[in-house]
């Protein structure tokens, strides 16, 4: 049963009522205020203050302020007048209940109207925003269409200008061909004139020779002798010359083939040993051509999570020496990090091939290779193959708790007793 509060204070003017209700040490956040035109209630358990107002107030503009261990109300009257008292007199329980129910219904109606007004305002805002966005999109679409039209007009003008330029160039070429053809015709005509002139001179010379043939008969023997002394032209032919391919600058007759072949073989072996056939090594320092140095470099890059750079370092080291199993093992770890699972399986398998025969000295490396390959299989959802690798790793190191736990989880997945993770 709540305790009714009676030690409140109030004052009034013709337009407002000022009411102060003490909180009596109750926390502010536990205070519940309810106010309508004719009813005011402040509930702060275990205390209760309610008043059935003497006249109606404007609950929309009235105010309540909680602080300094009290609730202060400023209630604005609907009609300017001086109240005889704060609450109605002669109110029985039934009337109180009706006023409470009416106040609750009025508050519900007010809240419903406010919610509907808010929803209507929100719908209007959404409609305005939609219309505004449609307008913006229409402007953007029109702007894009204008840009396309401008580009089309520009391209059309450029095409017309190019066609005009080509037409002028063709006309210029045609004029040049005509000029050249005229020049050639003039040259041919001049040659023909020269030829006709030469023929006329030859005829004149022949007639002159016939006239003087009788007088120069004594020189015929000498002319015949001069004509016979001129040799006939040689016949046309082709001479084929073939050369023996040679690596050395000396001729084949001056060399010793066996010694030269042996020298070339030794040079090729030396180039393979020095890795001069790898273009990437031309600009590297001497220590950067060491596979061990590259392996350490890849390990440092792996530690800084720069996995792609670490893979590049291991790739170059493998090109220098493809018989080091740790290079493949470390590169498999990098591929696992970047989810390149098939490459991780290939590198782990290659490391296991190189880690033969299985001895105590390479047990740790073999165990890591099985675990990494098994992890890649499991990430590819090949759980049976992954379980086989984990079991092989446990045979090498049966006391490894992490591998035991992971193998048990994979075994449960294969048996269907655990969800895939």
Cα diameter, the chain: 183
CA-based end-to-end distance of the chain: 57
For 339, phi and psi rounded to 5 degrees? 60, 30
Identify the pLDDT of residue 386.
93
pLDDT attached to residue 231: 65
In terms of Cα–Cα distance, which of 343, 309, 351 is closest to 327?
351
Q: Does domain 3-91 have CATH number 2.60.40.790?
A: yes
pTM attached to this predicted model: 0.37
Q: Which pLDDT does position 276 carry in this prediction?
A: 47
Which pLDDT score is estimated for 222? Answer: 47
* Surface-to-core class of residue 373, CB atoms within 10 Å of its CB (0-12 exposed, 13-18 middle, 19+ buried): buried
Q: Which residues pair with 87 in a beta bridge?
A: 53
Residues lower than pLDDT 50 in the chain: 217-218, 221-222, 225, 276-277
Distance CA 228, CA 225 (A): 5
- Give one DSSP letter per residue of 140-186, joined into a string: HHHHHHHHHHHHHHHHHHHHHHHHHHHHHHHHHHHHHHHHHHHHHHH
Write down the pLDDT at residue 218: 47
Quick one: fold of 323-415? 1.25.40
């Amino acid at each position: 049963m709540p305790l009714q509060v009676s030690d409140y204070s109030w004052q009034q003017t013709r337009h407002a009522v000022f009411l102060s209700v003490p909180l009596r040490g109750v926390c502010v956040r536990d205070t519940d205020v309810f106010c309508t035109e004719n009813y005011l209630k402040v509930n702060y358990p275990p205390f209760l203050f309610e008043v059935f107002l003497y006249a109606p107030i404007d609950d929309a503009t009235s105010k309540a302020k909680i602080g300094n261990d009290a609730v202060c109300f400023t209630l604005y009257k609907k009609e300017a007048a001086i109240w005889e008292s704060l609450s109605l007199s002669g109110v029985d329980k039934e009337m109180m209940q009706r006023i409470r129910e009416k106040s609750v219904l009025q508050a519900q109606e007010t809240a419903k109207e406010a919610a509907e007004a808010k929803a209507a305002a929100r719908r209007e805002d959404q409609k305005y925003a939609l219309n505004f966005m449609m307008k913006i999109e229409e402007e953007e679409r029109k702007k894009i269409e204008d840009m396309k039209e401008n580009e089309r007009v520009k391209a059309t003008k450029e095409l017309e200008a190019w066609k005009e330029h080509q037409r002028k160039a063709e006309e210029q070429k045609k004029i040049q061909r005509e000029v050249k053809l005229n020049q050639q015709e003039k040259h041919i005509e001049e040659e023909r004139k020269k030829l006709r002139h030469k023929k006329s001179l030859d005829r004149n010379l022949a007639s002159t020779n016939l006239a003087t043939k009788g007088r120069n008969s004594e020189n015929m023997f000498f002319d015949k002798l001069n004509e016979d002394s001129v040799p006939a032209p040689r016949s046309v032919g082709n001479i084929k010359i073939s050369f023996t391919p040679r690596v050395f600058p000396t001729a084949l007759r001056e060399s010793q083939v066996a010694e030269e072949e042996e020298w070339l073989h030794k040079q090729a072996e030396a180039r393979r040993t020095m890795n001069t056939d790898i273009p990437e090594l031309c600009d590297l320092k001497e220590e950067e051509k060491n596979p061990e140095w590259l392996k350490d470099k890849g390990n440092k890059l792996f530690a800084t999570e720069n996995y792609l750079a670490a893979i590049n370092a291991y790739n170059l080291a493998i090109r220098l020496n493809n018989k080091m199993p740790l290079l493949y093992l470390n590169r498999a770890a990098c591929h696992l990090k970047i989810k390149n699972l098939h490459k991780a399986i290939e590198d782990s398998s290659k490391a296991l091939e190189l880690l033969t025969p299985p001895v105590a000295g390479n047990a740790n490396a073999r165990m890591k290779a099985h675990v990494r390959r098994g992890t890649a299989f499991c990430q590819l959802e090949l759980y049976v193959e992954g379980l086989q690798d984990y079991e092989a790793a446990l045979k090498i190191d049966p006391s490894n708790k992490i591998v035991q736990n992971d193998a048990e989880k994979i075994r449960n997945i294969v048996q269907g007793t655990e969800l895939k993770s």
